Amino acid sequence: MTRAEWTRKAVHAGFGLAALSLRFLDWKAAAALALLALLVNLFVMPRVKGARSIYRDAARRHDAGIVAYPAMVLLLILVFRGPYLPIAAAVWAMMAFGDPAAAIVGKTVGGPTLPWNPRKTWVGLLADWAVAGPTAVAVHLFVSRREPQADTVAILMIGAALYAFLESVRAGIDDNLVAALPTALAIYQMGLVWPAAPELGPFPWGRWAVALAVNAAVAVAMGGLRVVRPSGAVAGGIVGFLILAAGGWGAYALLWTFFLLGTLATRLGYRRKRAAGTAQSHEGRRGAGNVVANCGVAAALLLLRAPAFAFAAALGAALADTLGTEVGTLYGARAFSPLTLRPVPKGTPGGVSVPGTAATLAGAASMGLAAAALGLVPRVPAALVGATIAGGFLGALCESVVTTVASRFGARLDHEFSNALNTFVGAMAALAIAALIALRLAG
């Protein structure tokens, strides 16, 4: 921790105190102030003498974190305006105080590193959660003017744990852009479905026991037959257990549909792809990182009791991305930029091709139609099936766009993070389209 880093973290936390002002401001005034902060950090700060002393790289005109922080605060206020503004305030507190705690404790104490990100430590992760949780609770209660409730505290502490984990993920972009919005959406969804004590009823031990037994056997078989790597067998067993227990046999069947179609796409022309240097490593056998990246968001949606079509859209985005990549590398003779549609060299990050895009749409459509056949997506209105397909396609397309934009700014997204991002965007897009459909039908 250098002197400049201490100053940077102090400014980071100090700006977070402004979250308390959301008790007195409406969302429009709060958004205006956040926009002002963003503009200052973008255009004024680089011109102020000595201001770049808190940049991680003083030679650069802009610092990614200093720009991303107010940008994310602005997005939170715009998304969670009105009665949901306390959620924006709570997550703002997580950003302001959890992140500095993780950095300070992680760098000064040290200790074992995280298996998914060797640049961060377990003690930093725990410090992030230990600080982010209580401060989020305090800020939420202050802004909402409510008395402390056990369910509110529990939801915010779970949200802080999710935030700490997402912030620890190796993404390739600033962590302010990674953790805040998914955490806020999870807190919002938990607030909708969190059951009161009398409504809990008996826990379905039998269903969860069956899910555990089935997936333990599947994990052993998949690992023993070397269909996946050992870590993939363990992670797949856990994800399958959660999906079967929380979503039932229909959701579990859709998971297997995704796995089988994705595996076939990977095996398609594997020798040619290996010769060209575009094949999946380990003979196409997936590991834990692949499983979590492609199926983690889908499993979380079921646990949060999100609509089943959002779960289907998340898996649809994952399959669409897989098919688009595998088919595009085989048959896509020419690649294009998804932003300008101009030709780019084959293999350019984010580049798309006509065969790859067609395969992307086919992947999203196959999962949407399979979900409808399995009863996960209501067939009436039929537009809801279309929303599921569109969400999957848009999620896969989003990865190409974000990768292209990131490369223009000199950033390179982590592959697993990119895969998780497209499933998240696919689910959110499906939910947004479904909401528009519901508004149109109601009108």
Please report where in the chains the tokens 């555990």 appear, as a residue: 212
Tokens found for residue 395:
């999620």
Q: Identify the three-state secondary structure at position 413.
A: coil
Q: Is the pLDDT of residue 198 over 50?
A: no
Strands (E), 299-438: 335-336, 343-344
Pick the residue with more confidence: 441 or 221? 221
CB atoms within 10 A of CB 342: 7
Give the distance between the most distant pair of CA atoms in the chain.
66
C-alpha angle 374-377-378 in degrees, rounded to nearest 5 = 105
The span from the first CA to the last CA of the chain, in angstroms, equals 57
Q: Which residues of 108-123 are buried (b: 16+ CB within 10 A; e: fewer)?
A: eeeeeebeeeeebbeb
d(CA 161, CA 133): 7
Could you report the per-residue pLDDT of 296-323, keeping only the tens digit for each?
Answer: 999 999 999 899 999 999 999 999 999 9
Q: What is the residue-averaged pLDDT of the chain?
A: 88
What does the pLDDT look like over 328-371, one tens digit per residue?
Answer: 888 877 888 888 888 888 767 778 889 989 999 999 999 999 99
Q: How many Cα neighbours within 13 Å face the side chain of 1?
A: 16
pLDDT reported for residue 335: 85
CA distance 162 to 150: 18
Which tokens hold the place of 383?
């537009």
pLDDT at 7: 81
pLDDT tens string 137-172:
999 999 999 888 888 999 999 999 999 999 999 888
Q: Is the pLDDT score of 218 beyond 50? A: yes
For the segment 65-90, what is each residue's pLDDT rounded down to a tens digit? 888 999 999 999 999 998 999 999 99
26-63 tens-digit pLDDT: 999 999 999 999 999 888 888 877 777 777 776 777 77
Alpha helices (runs of H) in 194-285, residue ranges in sequence order = 205-224, 230-267, 270-276
| Burial profile 158-196: b = 16 or more Cβ within 10 angstroms, e = fewer | bbbbbbbbbbbbbbebbbbbbbbbbbbbbbbbbeeeeee
pLDDT of the residue at 378: 84
pLDDT number for residue 274: 73
